Chain A
Amino acid sequence: NAGVTQTPKFQVLKTGQSMTLQCAQDMNHNSMYWYRQDPGMGLRLIYYSASEGTTDKGEVPNGYNVSRLNKREFSLRLESAAPSQTSVYFCASSEKGSGNQPQHFGDGTRLSIL
């Protein structure tokens, strides 16, 4: 049972390039989330999807787009990468989006923008 799988694990981009971070979960969870974690800032929510077919902005959505491709997969896209988007990105899932249940995390994508 893999849980939450993120790809790639590491990526280096140049300013202005685009890329998509992939996330898949095999726990049949309804809700999925994308966070970024920067030193001293803690986890900040970028976007979330409470259920298949819905997506909502979190605290820091600017510069990102998401797609809930199906129940299993939730991707995060950077259309034009900027150095300020250098961070560690975590995808998470939970059974429901009510916030009453814990979230399970993937092992992260370390992204550097030069």
Chain B
Amino acid sequence: RKEVEQDPGPFNVPEGATVAFNCTYSNSASQSFFWYRQDCRKEPKLLMSVYSSGNEDGRFTAQLNRASQYISLLIRDSKLSDSATYLCVVNIRDRGSTLGRLYFGRGTQLTVWP
């Protein structure tokens, strides 16, 4: 089982739609969670951190469900500029190490059409 799993999509939605992505992770001890955005042929960029109580940043809402080990990203009122690949990122501590590191999901592709 991969450490972080995402539905690869693609999700194709019209402008103004609401779309949600889910991501599951394998390590129940994971402490930190993030969503990144990656545009075609560009570097990944941090979209938002995910906090235990859930958090919102404008049209974007992230939620964490520790019991079921999944995180979600909700995008409301989709814009053309939201078209990108969204990466789910989870910190996992390697066995025998005091350090954790980030594991990246393979990404969910979103296309918003006019």
Query: Using a CB–CB distance below 8 Å, which chain A residues touch chain B?
Result: 35, 40-43, 45, 48, 50, 58, 90, 97-108
Q: Convert B35-65 into 0s and 1s, putting 1 for each residue whose CB lies closer than 8 angstroms to a CB of A.
A: 0000000111110010000000000000000
Interface of B (DSSP majority class)? strand
Q: Which residues of A are found within 8 Å of B46, using beta-carbon distances?
A: 102-104
1/0 per residue, CB under 8 A from A, across B73-114: the answer is 000000000000001010111000001111011110000000
Interface of B toward A, CB cutoff 8 Å: 31-32, 34, 42-46, 49, 87, 89, 91-93, 99-102, 104-107
Shortest beta-carbon distance, B29 to chain A, in Å? 11
A106 to B43, CA, bound (A): 7
Partner of A99, one of B44, B99, B107: B99
Cβ–Cβ contact B105 & A102, under 8 A: no
